[in-house]
Structures are given as structure tokens and as C-alpha cells.
Amino acid sequence: MALGQRRALVIGNDEYHTQSRLRNAVNDAHGVTQALRALNFHVKYETDLNGGVLENNAGQFVSNVHQGDTVFFYFSGHGLQYENRNYLVGVNAGQLTSANFRPYCLGATRLLENLVAKHPRTIIFILDCCRNNPFVRYNDAMNGHDRSSGFKHGLAKMEFDAPTHKSVNQRRPAIRIIIGFACASGATSRDRSLHDGRGMYGYHLVAQLTRRTNITKILKQVRTAVIRDSQSTQIPYVHDNGHEPEHLSDASDGFESN
């Protein structure tokens, strides 16, 4: 593993202030935190944050990232997409419109862009927030008019098609970026709990993190398990701008390398 720190920000939001309270997000985030700490990540673990605190804590996390670090971001809660950019919803959100939603949300797309600008070695960016969203009104093609004002179901794709950010003088290496969603882009899933108070995606993610270090294989195994358990009604999204295995830990840490 290259020189640099292993840094993670893990957030779980359950206690939304309206009828949209969730059951599994905090448990999922706690499980991910424990698994990452066992892999020697420096983890900042937060729960039930409002929009302003989400923004502040994400900014502080970005400011601590340095070139060569391995960065892991995980959010479990409600998310939404607006004009093809993704946002993570704070627990203080009510009914959201295109005019008022930003103070209640963290811009996930912008967060990823800000992390890329810090030139870490690797970014793993996981959004477990494909649940049905009660905060906005969506485009309804059946009744023939657009009520969404730019909002769409689920999350928008986040893709980096090739290793990115080599500087002109080639002094900065390419950044490996691996992105995972709990379900397909543009899709939603129910907040179901099939495994001891954890969501389906969170349960399988934690199980794989405690078993092996190859994040590329971890996300593939999670995808397979969620498809199986949901009977193909939930299909996780994975995007990886590289081709080689990417390990979260050294072999000396005692985890499987496969």
C-alpha cells in the first residue's frame, strides 16, 4: 500500500424530523465504522446530522485529506438528485423544492469533486441512500406534466471513465475512484431490514469488509448478494475507473487479500 493515511468519514441519518424516519441507517454506519477501524482507517463517525452540520463536517474532512491518502466516504440515509447532481439529505429537511433544498443537503457530487482536487491515492465513495424519498415531488409521466422542478428518482450516475488528474508535468499520479450505490442509478428501494437491524446493502457491505480487503471484489460480492436477497428488485451500482485490484489494507493486517 502506498504511503499516506487511511481516512474515512462515515455518516448514518435515521432521525429525520418528518414521517420519513429510517430504521437501519445508523446501524449500517456503525457497522461500517467498526469494519474500517479494524482495517486501520482513521474514522470520523457521525449520526443524525442536519444539513448545515453535514456540510461543515464534510468540509473539515476534505481539509484533512492529503496527496497519497486512501479516502473512504460512506453515507446512509436519504438522498436525492437534482439536475443530474446528487445530494445527501440532513435530518432537519421538510418538504423540499428547487428553491429551498440546498441548505438542508450536502452536495455529494461536489464533495467527490473536492476530494479529487486534494489528489489522494484512492477514493472509495459509497452512497447507501436509494430509499424512497418523501421530501420532493417528482416528474410524473403518467399525468403528462412535470412537477419535479429538476428532481428525479434515485441517484444520478457518478462516473470517472479513466484514471484522472495526472498533472501536466506528470508529478501527480492518477487517482483511483471507486463508487458504489445501494441500488441502480435512477432507482429506489424500500428501507427494509432483513438482517438484525441492518439494511440489506449495509449488512452485506459490513460482512465483506470484515472478510477481505480487495474493495473491487467487496463491491462485486455485495452486489451479487443484494440482487439475490432482493430477488433482483434491488441492483447496486458500481463504477470503477481502474482495472487492477485495490486493497484497503496491507497483507500484514491479517485479512484475506482476495
Q: How many CB atoms lie within 10 A of CB 147?
A: 11
Looking at residue 173, its pLDDT comes to: 67
Give the span between the Cα atoms of 104 and 32, in whole angstroms: 24
Torsion of CA 24, 27, 29, 32, to 10 degrees: -120
In degrees and rounded to multiples of 5, residue 122 shows phi and psi of: -140, 140
Provide the pLDDT confidence category of residue 142 given band limits of 50, 70 and 90.
very low
Interval 155-181: pLDDT, tens: 999 986 544 544 444 556 689 999 999
Looking at residue 90, its pLDDT comes to: 95
Specify the fold of 6-253.
Rossmann fold (3.40.50)
CB 248 within 8 A of CB 215: yes
Locate the domains of the chain by residue range.
6-253
Interval 225-237: pLDDT, tens: 999 999 999 999 9
Give the end-to-end CA distance of the chain in Å, rounded to a whole number.
Answer: 15
